[in-house]
Structure 1
Amino acid sequence: MEYKDYYKTLGVERGASQEEIKRAYRKLVRKYHPDVNTGPEAADAEQKFKDVGEAYEVLQDPEKRAAYDQLGADWKEGQAFRPPPDWDEGFEFSGGGYTETDPDQFGAFFDELFARRGQARPDMRGGGQFHAAGQDHHAKITIDLDTAYKGGSMDVGMRKPERDASGHVVLGEKTIRVSIPKGVCDGQHIRLAGQGSPGLGKGAAGDLYLEVAIKPTPGVRLEGRDVIMELPVTPWEAALGARVDYATPGGSVQLTVPKHSQSGRKLRLKGRGIPGKPPGDLIAVVKIVIPPTESEKARELYQQMAREMDYDPRAGRKG
């Protein structure tokens, strides 16, 4: 995926006010509109028209613009790009601010950053009076694997983009206390009722939805509630079999390593994954770790094995 410099697309500086962004957008929309580009350059103008619409979709909205600015100013137009997993952590997106442009026509860059954001919830009730439920807000938080197993409470810093009096985007910051349920999974949402935008009239306040991301742990991979972890073993434990102590996120267990185990062998511990109904499994993947040869005694032992075992693991691949 290629990075898109939305400021460059609109021809404005990164510190431009919202009014400057609006003027640049209107000028370019008139220039590239399909109704005034019917010659050989029509296809190119159509693509530029879409690009301008996409850039304005982001920069005209304080939430999207503030989040986009978090990516930094060092990226270049067309540069290979992948946003960091936690680039938008703590940002509250209300899902508002969409223009008359259809976001479905935008490219992969926009989709990767903003396509999952929520939308507003209009509501009409009773007596001809207008009532509107407040917009839901969406944000992302990161927890560690231990919290996913056990649950708990944590303070989460939130950032809500807003416009100041001059039309520039600023960040309002707050801290909220969040209760993390035991057994929460990567990608799951926690709903905080009434913590979105206030409603109009008798409309209820919107909710705040927190998308949970579980922080990566070296040697650990998640598949739903299943937890896949490396199980380091010595060559003799793998060859002869052994009972080993194995630290898991749910506590230490005694694990049997069958003899003749090779690296990559999977040992399943039912119900030892992330808790739930049903709980996931923990899958221990054997990884044979070779002891170091720093001492003379260790080197002698390896040399003795080489002489006496007469084993070639590549024998079956020789032509």
Structure 2
Amino acid sequence: MQYKDYYKIMGLSRDATQDQIKRAYRKLARKYHPDVSKEKNAEERFKEVGEAYEVLKDPEKRAAYDQLGANWKAGQDFRPPPNWNEGFEFRGGGFTGGDAGEYSDFFEQLFGRAGFGFGTAGRRQQGFHARGQDSHAKIHIDLEDSFRGATRSITLNAPEMDGQGHVYTKQRTLNIKIPKGIKPGQHIKLAGQGNPGSGRGQAGDLILEIEFNKHPFYRVAESDIYLDLPIAPWEAALGARVKVPTPEGVVDLKIPANSQQGDKLRLKGRGLSGKTPGDFFVVLQIALPPAHTEKSKSIYQAMQKELDFNPRQSLGV
């Protein structure tokens, strides 16, 4: 995927005001409109300018885009940094023109349904006494926070615009309660922490979407938790009792004799909590000792002689 330099596309500096962005778009849209332009690449440039304007005219999209930094070059291979949009607060007013399918892969990755999530919130109600718009943000928590429940301090970034039309990011810090058993993709709603209402209208809500930080041991799928457990070849062949870490502490687990690579052992009800608790799955990974010494090599050579074993027999070779 190629990086799009929206400022370069519109011939603007990164500190351009919102009025300058609007004027640049009007000029370029007239120049490249396919119905009137004689430029060879008019249609392509018109779409490119429209996409750039879709981002830069919106203080929220623009502030999010600016977080990627100024060191990227147009056309450079690009992948969004991990958790790049974490803690970024937005209203999500939707798209203002065109079909989302007309936007580039770069735009869709950042701002489409699979990316930043713009377009999910309702528009502000009209009228003097109107409820404020809801705000949305994505936050990452540790798996252990979901297991036990926790109170955490989070910092959110929201775009603001100064009197000269420059966009900047303002931070606010909140203490939130993380309910026990919450899963990735679920939400925490903080009533009255969204955007202020107009007149005597109430403030909107703040909706936090939950994601889990990558864990060094565990993987989460729905309510279930998976752990890849290394075991020695003799533990797999002969059976053994081994200690296994879980989010609730270390447990003793019986490895059945003649276990195979990839076998799954289930600890029922030890996944994420809920009306129907998930399970904890141990996935066996047979780890081979290295043959670095003459003694270790002789042990492998003895196994080769004593055991009639062809791991490729199922392949017919």
Does TM, scored on the shorter chain, surpass 0.5? yes
Cα offset for 1:135? 1.2
Contact 1:121/1:134, CA 8 A, preserved across alignment: no
Match among 121, 128, 132 for residue 119 of structure 1: 121
Could you tell me whether the CA contact under 8 Å between 2:92 and 2:122 is conserved in 1?
yes
Instruction: Look up the SS of the partner of 1:244 in the other structure.
Output: strand
Measure, in 2, the Cα distance between the counterparts of 1:318 and 1:241. Answer: 29
- In structure 1, the partner of 2:35 is 35
What is the aligned length?
Answer: 311
Query: SS of the counterpart of 2:208?
Result: strand
Contiguous gaps of at least 5 residues in structure 1: none
Aligned equivalent of 2:211: 213
> How much does 1:21 deviate?
1.8
Q: Verify the 8 A CA contact 2:32 2:39 in the aligned structure 1.
A: no
Whole-angstrom CA distance in 1 between matches of 2:167 and 2:147: 38
- The Cα of 1:219 is off from its aligned counterpart by 4.4
CA deviation map 1:3-33 (0-9, x unaligned): 2221121111223232322221111111122
CA distance in 2, matches of 1:77, 1:175: 35
| Residue number in structure 2 paired with 1:101 | 97
Give the Cα separation in 2 of the matches to 1:119 and 1:183.
26
Residue 24 in 1 paired to residue 24 in 2?
yes
Within 2, Cα distance between the matches of 1:307 and 1:81? 53
Q: Which amino acid aligns with 2:249?
A: G
The equivalent position to 2:230 in structure 1, one of 229, 232, 238, is 232
Q: What residue is the counterpart of 1:303 in the other structure?
A: 301
Change (3 A) 1:187 1:84: farther
* TM-score of the superposed pair, with normalisation by structure 1: 0.88
User: In the superposition, relative to structure 1, how do residues 190 and 303 fare at CA in structure 2: closer, same or farther (>3 Å)?
Assistant: same
Matches of 2:39 and 2:139 in 1, distance apart?
49
State whether structure 2 residue 70 is matched by structure 1 residue 73.
yes
Report if aligned partners of 2:56, 2:62 keep a CA contact under 8 Å in 1: yes
Distance 1:2 1:277 in 2: 45
Aligned match for 1:261, one of 259, 262, 265 = 259
Q: Secondary structure at the match of 2:46?
A: helix
Aligned partners of 1:223 and 1:99: how far apart in 2? 32
* SS of corresponding position for 1:35: coil
- SS at 2:129 equivalent: strand
Aligned to 2:135: 137
Query: C-alpha distance in 2, partners of 1:130/1:21?
Result: 30
Q: Which structure 2 residue ranges, 5 or more long, are not aligned?
A: none
Per the alignment, in what secondary structure is the counterpart of residue 160 of structure 1?
A: strand
Match of 1:9 in 2: 9
Partner residue in 2 for 1:242 = 240
Say whether the 8 Å CA contact 2:21–2:53 is kept in structure 1: yes
SS in 2 for 1:191: strand
Whole-angstrom distance in 2 between the partners of 1:270 and 1:99: 46
Separation in 1, partners of 2:99, 2:17: 23
**Displacement, 1:318?**
5.7
Query: Do the aligned partners of 2:187 and 2:207 also contact (CA within 8 Å) in 1?
Result: yes
| Percentage of identical aligned residues | 54
**Distance in 1 between residues matched to 2:66 and 2:289, nearest whole Å:** 48
Q: CA deviation at 1:260?
A: 1.3
Once the two structures are TM-superposed, the CA of residue 254 in structure 1 deviates from its matched residue by 2.3
Aligned residue for 2:195?
197
Q: CA deviation at 1:48?
A: 2.2
User: 2:141 and 2:124 mapped to 1: Cα distance?
Assistant: 33
Cα-to-partner distance string for 1:202-222 (whole Å, 9 max, x where unaligned): 322111111111011234322
CA distance in 2, matches of 1:2, 1:273: 40
Find 1:176's aligned residue among 174, 177, 189.
174
In the alignment, the residues of structure 1 paired with residue 274 and residue 106 of structure 2 have an alpha-carbon distance, to the nearest angstrom, of 35
Distance in 2 (alpha carbons) for counterparts of 1:176 and 1:183: 21
**Alignment equivalent of 1:153, drawn from 148, 151, 154:** 151
Give the secondary-structure state (helix, strand or coil) at the position aligned to 1:29.
helix
Contact 1:6 1:55 in 2 (8 A): yes
Name the CA distance, whole Å, in 2 between partners of 1:172 and 1:103. Answer: 31
Quote the Cα distance in structure 1 between the aligned partners of 2:228 and 2:305.
31
Match of 2:89 in 1: 92
Which residue type is aligned with residue 77 of structure 1? A
Please say if residues 243 and 254 of structure 1, whose CA atoms lie closer than 8 Å, have aligned partners that are also in contact. yes
Give the Cα separation in 2 of the matches to 1:40 and 1:172: 42
SS in 1 for 2:35: helix
Cα distance in 2 between the residues matched to 1:233 and 1:146:
25
